[in-house]
């Protein structure tokens, strides 16, 4: 009987550990600044939650501007460096407005460092979401400057906001719950094994 309980507990622990990586959400949040004024927030989530849905090998990008500031969807828009192009070429899909494709970096950053995405036109958006495919943020992604429209731009209606990281790699609550269940199972097994039987 004890061997059967041990086997069941062992299987529960293995299942918990096997499922946990799939439920882990890596999140990076950057603040967008023009000089010393925050004009928006950019959030990257592996697997996608919030503004868009992405599979485990892609990243949801959610840009939310504050006040009357907007994302400028014309010319270079955004760039990334770090662990992108995983298992192939990173592309932009499921954009909430228009579409982005590989392009010039312009005011985003150095083309030899950043993979830059842009578009043509004069659209603007107060919120902008898209999926960056074949990307992995747990080993590091840096976001370049973001093309914005703002009254704070020093030379006209548009300029490039800088990004300042504020947080990274936050576990989803469901992952912690699953791990807690596994630990309770281990504690229960250990308690029964070492307490004298009546």
CATH of the domain at 146: 2.60.40
16, pLDDT greater than 50: no
- Say if 188 falls within a structural domain: no
Highest mean pLDDT, choosing among 62-71, 110-119, 135-144, 157-166: 62-71
Domain total of the chain:
1
Task: Write out pLDDT tens, residues 126-162.
Answer: 999 999 988 888 878 889 999 999 999 988 889 999 9
Task: Give the ranges where the chain is alpha helix by DSSP (H).
Answer: 2-23, 173-194
- Say if 55 falls within a structural domain: yes
**Residue 145: domain span:** 26-170
174 versus 159: the higher-pLDDT residue is 159
- Residue 160: closest CA among 179, 178, 147: 147
How crowded is residue 74: how many other Cβ atoms within 10 Å of its Cβ?
16
The 3-state DSSP class for residue 20 equals: helix
- Say if 21 falls within a structural domain: no
102, pLDDT greater than 60: yes
The C-alpha atoms of residue 151 and residue 71 are separated, in whole angstroms, by: 13
First-to-last C-alpha distance (Å) of the chain: 15
- Say if 195 falls within a structural domain: no
Q: What is the pLDDT of residue 183?
A: 54
CA angle 96, 99, 100 (to 5 degrees): 120
Burial group, residue 107, by CB count within 10 angstroms (0-12, 13-18, 19+): middle
46 versus 148: the higher-pLDDT residue is 148
Q: How far is CA 97 from the centre of its chain?
A: 19
Task: Write out pLDDT tens, residues 17-39.
Answer: 444 444 445 888 999 999 999 99
113, pLDDT greater than 60: yes
pTM above 0.85?
no
Decide if 127 contacts 51 (C-beta within 8 A).
yes
- Say if 161 falls within a structural domain: yes
- Residue 73: closest CA among 158, 131, 151: 158
- The mean pLDDT of the chain is 78
Please list, in sequence order, all residues whose beta carbon lies within 8 angstroms of the beta carbon of residue 113, skipping any fewer than 6 positions away: 81
CA angle 47, 52, 54 (to 5 degrees): 30
Q: What is the pLDDT of residue 88?
A: 55
- Residue 146: closest CA among 66, 46, 70, 67: 70
The C-alpha atoms of residue 29 and residue 168 are separated, in whole angstroms, by: 7
- Say if 54 falls within a structural domain: yes
- Say if 12 falls within a structural domain: no
- Say if 194 falls within a structural domain: no
The C-alpha atoms of residue 132 and residue 77 are separated, in whole angstroms, by: 14
């Amino acid at each position: 009987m004890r061997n059967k309980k041990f086997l069941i507990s062992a299987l529960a622990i293995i299942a918990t550990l096997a499922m946990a990586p799939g439920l882990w959400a890596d999140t990076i949040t950057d603040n967008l600044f023009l000089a010393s004024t925050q004009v928006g927030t950019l959030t990257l989530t592996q697997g996608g939650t919030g503004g868009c849905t992405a599979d485990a090998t892609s990243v949801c990008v959610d840009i939310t501007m504050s006040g009357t500031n907007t994302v400028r969807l014309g010319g270079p828009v955004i760039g990334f460096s770090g662990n992108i192009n995983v298992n192939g070429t990173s592309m932009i899909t499921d954009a909430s407005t228009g579409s982005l494709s590989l392009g010039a970096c312009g005011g985003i950053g150095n083309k030899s460092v950043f993979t830059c995405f842009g578009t043509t036109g004069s659209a603007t958006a107060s919120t902008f979401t898209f999926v960056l495919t074949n990307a992995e943020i747990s080993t590091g992604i840096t976001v370049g400057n973001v093309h914005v429209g703002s009254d704070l731009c020093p030379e006209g209606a548009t300029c490039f906001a800088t990004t300042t990281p504020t947080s990274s790699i936050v576990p989803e609550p469901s992952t912690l719950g699953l791990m807690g269940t596994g630990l309770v199972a281990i504690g229960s097994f250990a308690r029964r094994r070492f307490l004298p039987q009546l």
